[in-house]
């Protein structure tokens, strides 16, 4: 299906192909490790995605998992109370790419050359490619009352999300910037432990309906606090790779979607 990008994105406010705008966004992302663009989506697009999200929620795969902050197996070389072995809770529902209607504005945005070109400039990526598997490119996540994402680090260097429906209370995205340096092998367990203990103040990224967020979560610990109330938190993850032909691992697909295909 063909989509006109100006029917999805507020291009007057966010001229995606303007080089000055791209450079400004790139500089901000590189400095802050995040970029927040409120009212990125048009209201019509927000309404459409909210409607299809409600229609398809029963198809979502809901999980309630305990994991460590590294999203890895526990390590017997460390004591039980070590940050590597402390467990946090993540609970949510997820719609995979093949469960999102082909008519969704999400596909129009995800596949738009202008959008990918903008992301490439901001993220310092030559090109961006969809996942080779049918599940992982666009994911729609639901968090109901009491559900949350525990503290963790991302394995990838960046994450791209769209807030579709913010809850009335809770569901706040909190982060502590540059706790570790995974590329150099500096894991900084002591600083991670302070975050887990609530001893380090966290910052919050504000996200209203229609907000686009780019976040560098490989070295910054982050979480989503428990949702409070009857209004579901609905967030879309737009996932790309720097190389073509890459699939999410089978373990990750089983964890997030409960199936491989």
In this predicted model, what pLDDT tens digit does every residue of 26-62 receive, in sequence order?
999 999 999 999 999 999 999 999 999 999 999 999 9
H or E stretch at 117: helix 113-123
Q: 5-257 maps to which CATH number?
A: 2.60.120.620
Beta carbons within 10 angstroms of residue 250's beta carbon: 10
Q: Could you give the CA distance from residue 244 to residue 115 in angstroms, rounded to a whole number? A: 17
Task: Tell the residue number behind the tokens 């913010």, with chain if given.
Answer: 166
**pLDDT tens track for 5-25:** 999 999 999 999 999 999 999
Q: What is the pLDDT of residue 199?
A: 98
Beta carbons within 10 angstroms of residue 209's beta carbon: 18
Q: What single string gives the DSSP state of each residue in 57-80?
A: GGG-EEEEEEE-TTSS---TTS-T
- Over its C-alpha atoms, the chain yields an Rg (Å, rounded) of 18
Q: How confident is the model at residue 1 (pLDDT cuts 50, 70, 90)?
A: low
Mean pLDDT, residues 124-135: 96
Contacts of 70 (CB under 8 A, 6+ apart): 84, 152, 153
Dihedral of alpha carbons 218, 228, 49, 14, sign: negative
Cα–Cα nearest to 34, from 195, 171, 214, 188: 214
How high is the mean pLDDT of the chain?
A: 96
Task: Tell the residue number behind the tokens 């938190």, with chain if given.
Answer: 233
**pLDDT tens track for 56-115:** 999 999 999 999 999 999 999 999 999 999 999 999 999 999 999 999 999 999 999 999
Task: Tell the residue number behind the tokens 């994991």, with chain if given.
Answer: 67
Q: Could you give the CA distance from residue 250 to residue 261 in angstroms, rounded to a whole number? A: 10
The whole-model pTM stands at 0.96
pLDDT at position 233 over 80: yes
> What number of CA atoms fall less than 13 Å from residue 119's CA on the CB side?
24
Q: How confident is the model at residue 251 (pLDDT cuts 50, 70, 90)?
A: confident
């Amino acid at each position: 299906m063909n989509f006109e990008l100006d029917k999805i994105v507020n291009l007057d406010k966010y001229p995606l192909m303007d080089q000055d705008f791209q450079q400004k966004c790139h500089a901000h992302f590189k400095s802050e490790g995040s970029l927040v663009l409120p009212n990125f989506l048009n209201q019509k697009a927000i309404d459409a995605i909210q409607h299809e999200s409600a229609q398809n929620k029963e198809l979502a795969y809901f999980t309630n998992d305990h994991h460590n902050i590294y999203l890895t197996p526990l390590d017997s070389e460390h004591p039980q109370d070590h940050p590597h072995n402390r467990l946090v809770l993540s609970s949510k529902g997820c719609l995979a790419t093949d469960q999102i209607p082909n008519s969704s504005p999400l596909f129009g945005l995800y596949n738009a050359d202008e959008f990918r070109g903008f992301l490439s400039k901001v993220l310092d990526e030559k090109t961006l490619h969809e996942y080779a598997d049918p599940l992982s490119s666009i994911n729609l996540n639901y968090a109901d009352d009491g559900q949350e994402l525990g503290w963790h680090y991302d394995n990838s260097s960046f994450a791209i999300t769209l807030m579709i429906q913010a809850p009335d209370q809770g569901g706040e995205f909190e982060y502590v910037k540059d706790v570790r340096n995974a590329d150099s092998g500096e894991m900084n367990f002591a600083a991670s432990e302070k975050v887990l203990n609530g001893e380090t103040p966290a910052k919050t990224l504000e996200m209203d309906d229609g907000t686009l967020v780019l976040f560098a979560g490989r070295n910054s610990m982050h979480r989503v606090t428990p949702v409070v109330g009857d209004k579901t938190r609905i967030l879309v993850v737009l996932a790309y790779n720097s190389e073509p032909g890459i699939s999410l691992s089978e373990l990750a697909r089983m964890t997030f979607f409960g199936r491989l295909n």
